[in-house]
């Protein structure tokens, strides 16, 4: 009976060690590869039609709000518009929206 309990305890210890190694390996693999996977996922999303159309629609809505805004509101809206458009590929914008954003940049002395 003692040999059976001793073997059972050793077996459980070995099982827990193997589980710990597998879990540690999974964490290591996640730590190493998760940033690259997320970067690819983000780049794929930013190239999607839904993202591009959504961004264009959002910028057009902000342009419409800018036209309706008072002078004090226009400064705040212009900052938000330029911030949102900063990382977006300008070549994907319609020409009127592209010229509007360029006009805002020129008014603020930006490139």
What residue segments make up the domains of the chain, in order of their start?
Answer: 1-47, 49-107
What integer pLDDT is reported at residue 61 of this predicted model? 95
CA atoms within 13 A on the CB side of 10: 6
Contacts of 58 (CB under 8 A, 6+ apart): 84
Q: Assign 80 to helix, strand or coil.
A: helix
Q: Tens digit of pLDDT for each residue in 79-102? A: 999 999 998 888 899 999 999 999
Q: How confident is the model at residue 5 (pLDDT cuts 50, 70, 90)?
A: confident
Extract the tokens encoding 58: 């959002």
Q: What is the mean pLDDT of residues 1-10?
A: 84
Please, are residues 60 and 97 in contact by the beta-carbon 8 Å criterion? yes
Q: Tens digit of pLDDT for each residue in 17-60? A: 888 877 877 777 788 888 998 999 999 999 999 999 999 999 99
Cα gap 85→105, rounded to integer Å: 11
Residue carrying the six token digits 């710990």: 20
Cα gap 88→42, rounded to integer Å: 13
What integer pLDDT is reported at residue 2 of this predicted model? 77
Q: Give yes or no for residue 108 having a pLDDT over 80.
A: yes
């Amino acid at each position: 009976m003692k040999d059976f309990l001793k073997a059972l305890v050793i077996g459980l210890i070995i099982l827990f060690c193997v589980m710990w190694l597998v879990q540690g390996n999974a964490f290591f693999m996640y730590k190493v590869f998760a940033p690259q996977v997320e970067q690819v996922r983000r780049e794929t999303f930013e190239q999607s039609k839904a993202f591009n159309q959504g961004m264009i629609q959002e910028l057009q809505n902000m342009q419409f709000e800018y036209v309706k805004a008072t002078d004090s509101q226009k400064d705040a809206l212009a900052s938000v518009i330029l911030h949102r458009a900063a990382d977006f590929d300008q070549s994907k914008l319609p020409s009127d929206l592209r010229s509007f954003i360029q006009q805002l940049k020129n008014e603020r002395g930006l490139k």
